[in-house]
Structure 1
């Protein structure tokens, strides 16, 4: 059944979970939204569904699971913000077929991740993890053995995207040689050079750092064979996705001494909350830095994420623009000063647009501008009109009755 909504900002209810940065709240208030409910943590499923039933916009981080079942209770929901990079916690297909665009923050924590990676590279090359562990146990190993500067060493970056390129730029400023491997042809920054392939990079690098997305192709892309291809004593850093490295194979390579050290921020299985135990084959290695998936967890990054995602949600709510939505046709729209704007989200089947236009013809309403984009499953058409609010409401009701309609809305 299609959803039709049309209401002023002060009636739009915004639900923000998991301690989202106050910058998001400030952004919504500055844009005229007054009904904002915030929670410091994720909610139990029953409470989550009750809150979703009343929400028009919801913002979450990584712990809240917006499954198809949860979204089925969100009859009023018109947009979702993932205040993080990943969107695995959201059923994107279910949201799409409910006419709900999902926005995330793919770049706002880039610098935070890059700084952590560089810091870990230096610590690993100096042998600091094991020296730190020895001191905590009352030991004292004052020696230069196995301790190296990063200057002049080779850093291999697997995945040369927004984070990988920043890592490379910072590494070069420290005097490192940078090589990279990516499945797509990328323009090198600074003096970085593309490796001939993954195994060429592994064989040439003193430190290998991973910055790839989670896909079937990247699942355990660093396994026993790849670890064996690395230089003896080289170090591995993974701040991308937990499924990218075969953890058991890495533990074996560390145990044998072939891998000199590692820094791992992401794991195949992670605790659901801070009170849950962390279990990994990598615990107990003095030469391994383990961090609880906090590569992008800085206050600066969270503030930037709050601003970025809130801006996208506000722009969609106010304007209808869906630029950078991860599950939705992307439409960049001008302001609609002097016009009313109608949003029509529908299943991507033949004949819908002609029926949409027929509604305006029958009601004698002139179209000032029209924008259409489609995905394989849904279509999104935006129509600007000069009309009274009563006329716009009548048009909206007719549009909502078109077979295949998922959602309609009027922006005043």
Structure 2
């Protein structure tokens, strides 16, 4: 029987699901990196979430490894080139949490446009301010989606009933326009978008993609949603754009550094400025993190692992 090591906390269904396709699963969510390196040579597969970086050093120890399965969508913790060089398969599970992320993005957008969180907090402190919480309607707006994979498509589908125009840009796809979004150039999105939603992975190319130069290219004063990766947006540039009014509001599920007790002095200053803005909405990297997606991610990964073994 093949063996699979699980090094992060997963939904309890993962062990029986792997057993059904012929894998002995060792579930060790508290294991350290050093402990993993000492035993990984025994395993044909490993399932990770975020705590373990799969780099060249790791691969040198993993002489039987056939696959790395990432319990989520992003692959920025994996050295993809090194894994491919060793013919080690990479699986992720965007199909498992795309619906959760899309619903969360819609919720954040509606909250931001209608000041729902702000109004709730004001009323709790005895403030009844109707004019200060006058909302902005979504209908008639143009939404620009950057990255039209599983997440971008799921978000576009949720927008259909709101009477918006959806433009999608994806550098690595062709002929991807569909019933939910029109394929567009970045120039068109810069010119027409009222709302920008980011759905790209974190790579060298997208690291701080949204900086001052990027934001200055928008013709309109926009709203931004980021449910992708924190480092896609340069947050000090966002602070400046919020201050100037070129960004009217930002919904951030992710941050440059999500270890809030380990911020650099510069990161702390930037976060403090964002925290003080009533036009910024935060959630703690939970856009794809629902009770349902927690289990669906397992189902997606095991289906892909099984397909590898059947090939």
| TM-score using structure 2 length | 0.85
Give, in whole Å, the separation in 2 of the partners of 1:131 and 1:311: 44
Quick one: structure 1 residues 216 and 74, their matched pair in 2 at CA, closer, same or farther if it must change by over 3 Å?
A: closer
* CA-atom RMSD in angstroms: 2.7
Select which of 10, 27, 42 maps to 1:54: 42
Name the structure 1 match of 2:299.
307
Alignment map for 1:264-279 (pairs within 5 Å):
264-271=252-259, 279=268
State yes or no: 1:93 paired with 2:81: yes
Structure 2 CA distance for partners of 1:223 and 1:275, relative to 1, 3 Å: closer
2:167 matched to which residue of 1? 179
Residue 28 of structure 2 corresponds to residue 25 of structure 1: no
How far apart are the structure 1 equivalents of 2:49 and 2:5?
12
SS in 2 for 1:251: helix
Residues 1:169 and 2:161 are matched in the alignment:
no
1:234–1:78 CA distance, 2 compared to 1 (3 A): closer
What displacement does 1:288 show?
0.9
Q: Please give the per-residue CA displacement for 1:208-227, whole angstroms capped at 9, x wherever unaligned.
A: 11122334443333222332
Q: How many residues align?
A: 304
Local SS of the residue matching 1:13:
strand
Counterpart of 1:380 in structure 2 is none
> Residue 138 of structure 2 corresponds to which residue in structure 1?
150
CA–CA distance in structure 1, aligned partners of residues 133 and 255 of structure 2? 31
CA shift at 1:135, angstroms? Answer: 4.1
Q: Which of 77, 83, 106 is matched with 1:118 structurally?
A: 106
Q: Which residue of 1 aligns with 2:3?
A: 13
Change (3 A) 1:50 1:137: farther
Counterpart CA distance in 2 for 1:93 and 1:154 is 37
1:149-176 deviation per Cα after TM superposition (whole angstroms, max 9, x unaligned): 2222222222233222222222121222
C-alpha displacement of 1:303: 1.5
- Counterpart Cα distance in 2 of 1:198 and 1:192: 14
Contact 1:154 1:204 in 2 (8 A): yes
Q: Identify the structure with the greater helix proportion.
A: 2
Contact 2:95 2:300 in 1 (8 A): no
Residue 284 (1) aligns with residue 294 (2): no
200 and 27 in structure 1: CA distance in 2 versus 1, 3 angstrom threshold? same
Normalising by the residue count of structure 1, what TM-score does the alignment of the two structures yield?
0.66
Cα distance, 1:144 vs structure 2: 6.5
C-alpha spacing 1:94/1:220, structure 2 compared with 1 (3 Å):
closer
Shift of 1:263: 0.7
Which residue does 2:32 correspond to in 1?
A: 44
8 Å Cα contact 1:121-1:207 kept in structure 2: no
Task: Quote the offset at 1:69 in angstroms.
Answer: 1.8
1:305-344 matches, cutoff 5 A: 305-316=297-308, 318-319=309-310, 321=311
Tell me, what secondary structure is at the counterpart of 2:281? Answer: strand
SS at match of 1:268: coil
Q: In the superposition, relative to structure 1, how do residues 116 and 51 fare at CA in structure 2: closer, same or farther (>3 Å)?
A: same
Shift in CA distance, 90/20, structure 1 to aligned 2, threshold 3 Å: same
Which structure has the bigger radius of gyration? Answer: 1
Distance 2:70 2:183 in 1: 33
Deviation of 1:138 (Å): 4.8
> What's the CA shift for 1:286?
2.0
Residues 246-395 of structure 1 aligned to structure 2 (within 5 Å):
246-271=234-259, 279=268, 280-281=270-271, 282-316=274-308, 318-319=309-310, 321=311
Query: What's the offset of the Cα at 1:266?
Result: 2.4
Distance 1:276 1:298, change over 3 A: farther
Measure, in 1, the Cα distance between the counterparts of 2:124 and 2:216: 32
Residues 1:293 and 1:59: Cα distance change in structure 2 (over 3 Å): same
Q: How many angstroms apart in 2 are the aligned matches of 1:73 and 1:217?
A: 29
Task: State the alpha-carbon separation in 1 of the partners of residues 181 and 77 from structure 2.
Answer: 35
Q: Distance between the aligned counterparts of 1:266 and 1:307, measured in 2? A: 25
